[in-house]
Amino acid sequence: MLQVAQIREHKESFIAALKKRNFQAEELFEQVLQLDETRRATQTELDNTLAESNKLSKEIGMLFKSGEHEKANKVKAQTGSLKENSKKLSEELQQAEKKINQILYTIPNVPHESVPAGVSEDDNEEIFKEGDIPVLAEGSLPHWELAKKYDLINFDLGNKITGAGFPVYKGKGARLQRALITYFLDKNIEAGYTEYQVPLVVNEASGFGTGQLPDKEGQMYHIQNDDLYLIPTSEVPLTNMFRDDLLTEKDLPIRCTAFTPCFRREAGSYGAHVRGLNRLHQFDKVELVNLVKPEDSYQTLDNMVEHVKNILRELKLPYRVLRLCGGDLGFTSALTYDFEVFSTAQDRWLEISSVSNFETFQANRLKVRYKNKEGKKELVHTLNGSSLALPRVLAGILENYQTEEGIKIPEVLIPYTGFDIID
């Protein structure tokens, strides 16, 4: 979340920047600043009251020592009044801080200056495109038909076991899925990331820390009896590993990668665009998370983009990179690049990765700081990206690599699958 000091210092520029998101921040900023004035005045009064109470307590001790018991008891009566007042002021201070945070939790991150204004995904900017779109033979099929034809994924069986959006992978479909996971992890480890295995459920504090809570869209699965949440991405547990930590400059950068299943309710999803693997409630993803010094974060973002590009080049999938507009930008992000693979059989682009810089937005919620060379405590910058989300990558491979003989396997994956064609 934003810091009050940031809002006070950059109020007008923040208001203008948030308009790119079509978010009107002026009234909320005024409320925050007024509450903060109240908070600061209350804090000053509380500090003075406590100081006076401490002073009188010392005076009481001296009076008792000198035998002036009557005078000491009179002063003691004054300290009782001060203690009552300090208790009242402490409660008022907590209320003011609570109200400030409640408002701050509703304000999205301030977009980076390079983020274009816009209302929806139609206003995103294509900044890069690479790879040749294959020409498929007549009668080529979308991935859900290929999955059925070659017995790779059973959507009906998943529906029987759980419900729509929970597919069952089988045989070479399962092996291809496992090959992709291992390949992605290997590429990330080669690039200097440390692999983690993390919990698939998190507590409420973790959800608030990375900005998934408050969950306005109802996208997270909630385990009510235990007040835990199924993770929508391993970004949540990975980043929360460092919640409330004070790091040193030598600790940074911190680079994490993890494979996990991810769970999203995808409330409101419907239509042809959600068929097959296009949108699921449970899916596998390999994630990248970085914690870095503020001055290094945008170079890190560029490095993450190049890393994902390199993976897609090796897979030889046609892809493009979009800079998201303000209206399509995630709540916590300052700048996001989306990667999309072209599905030749569906004749449409499929999002397969988002790479984002959150600057200090998550770190302020998480209270992740580091000591710089001067010994000053600063918030780190956090970044994350998919490397990669498997369903649509798998869909892209099945559709773009289909031939009359069968589905060829990308050359880079053959050592992982142990076969070069699905027939």
CA-nearest of 283, 248, 253, 279 to 266 is 279
> pLDDT tier at 178 (50, 70, 90 boundaries)?
very high
Secondary-structure percent of the chain, ordered helix, strand, coil, rounded to 5 = 45, 20, 30
Tell me what the pLDDT averaged over the chain comes to: 93
Q: Does the pLDDT at position 345 exceed 90?
A: no
Q: Looking at per-residue confidence, does 53 or 39 come out higher?
A: 39
> How many domains is the chain built from?
2
Average pLDDT over residues 83-97: 90
Within the chain, how many helices (H) and strands (E) appear?
12, 18
Residue 272 has pLDDT above 90, yes or no: no
User: Domain holding 211: CATH number?
Assistant: 3.30.930.10
**Residue 386 and residue 305: Cα distance in Å, rounded?**
10
Structural domain includes residue 113:
no
- Please check whether residues 64 and 134 belong to one and the same domain: no
The pair of structure tokens assigned to 146 is 């290929």
Regarding whether 209 and 129 lie in a shared domain, the answer is yes
Same domain as 254, residue 372: yes
Q: In the predicted model, is pLDDT for residue 269 greater than 60?
A: no
Instruction: For helices 69-104 and 26-65, give the axis angle rounded to 10 degrees.
Output: 160
Contact 229, 222 (CB under 8 A): yes
Same domain, 210 and 351: yes
| Nearest Cα to Cα of residue 7 among 45, 46, 42, 35 | 35
Please report whether residue 308 resides in a domain: yes
SS3 203: strand
Residue 192 lies in a domain: yes
99 and 129 housed in the same domain: no
Residue 316 amino acid letter: K
Banded model confidence at residue 37, pLDDT cuts 50, 70, 90:
very high
Burial degree of 62 (CB within 10 A; 0-12, 13-18, 19+):
exposed
Mean per-residue pLDDT for 209-237? 91
Range of 249's domain? 121-422
Q: Which amino acid, residue 36?
A: D
Q: How many CA atoms lie within 13 A of 394 on its CB side?
A: 28
CA distance 308 to 312: 6
Which three-class secondary structure state does DSSP give residue 233?
A: coil
- What percentage of residues in the chain have a pLDDT greater than 70? 94
Q: Which residue, among 194, 213, 239, has the nearest Cα to 360 in the 3D structure? A: 239
